[in-house]
Amino acid sequence: MVLKKTGEQKCAELGSYIKEVPTADLPAHLDTEKTCFALFVTGDTLGRGSEELGSILVRNLFSALTQNDQLPHFIIFINKGVFLACEGSTVLEYLIYLEKQGVEILTSRTCLEYYQIKHKFCVGSISNMYTILAKLSRAEKILTI
């Protein structure tokens, strides 16, 4: 909960004072309007049904994401989603832009090796499940596609 008034209140149990700070005075990393969120990408298309339509939708999603006011802190690719971070991807230009804007992009090494496309990897860093899990556990919001 964000405190919106200024003042001090005594915590009787501990004998100490709690100072309430106006929202505007919060440091940027504690700004409640800008929560840490991650995009967890599990496939190379968006939605179920037509593969062609799913490819168009995933491209539109990443295009819209580059124009969004709030960018994710992390984009994590697993399973077939790893194809999007590789050579020939229809969203590669957007991922490169997002990385330049400070978005951390992580791709599963296991998945790249399983699909035998590690040599085609282009953007972000190759990661393991321990790091992926650590990043996801820090996110306040996770959007899974």
Is the domain of 13 the same as that of 59?
Answer: no
Quick one: which of 95, 65, 82, 76 has its CA closest to 134?
76
Q: What is the pLDDT of residue 6?
A: 42
Q: What is the pLDDT of residue 35?
A: 61
Cα–Cα–Cα angle for 29, 85, 28, rounded to 5 degrees: 5
Q: What is the pLDDT of residue 86?
A: 97
Q: What is the pLDDT of residue 98?
A: 97
C-alpha gyration radius of the chain: 20
Residue 110's domain comprises 35-144
Is the domain of 3 the same as that of 53?
Answer: no
Domain count for the chain, please give it.
2
What is the CATH number for 77?
A: 3.40.1260.10
Is the domain of 99 the same as that of 67?
Answer: yes
Is the domain of 77 the same as that of 123?
Answer: yes
Q: How far apart are the first and last CA of the chain?
A: 29
Is the domain of 53 the same as that of 104?
Answer: yes
Is the domain of 21 the same as that of 55?
Answer: no
Is the domain of 137 the same as that of 99?
Answer: yes
| CB 105 within 8 Å of CB 99 | yes
| Regions of the chain where pLDDT drops below 70 | 1-35
Q: What is the pLDDT of residue 124?
A: 96
**Structure token pair of residue 50:** 């037509």
**Structure token pair of residue 91:** 């969203």
Is the domain of 22 the same as that of 54?
Answer: no
- pTM for this entry: 0.75
Is the domain of 80 the same as that of 97?
Answer: yes
Is the domain of 3 the same as that of 52?
Answer: no
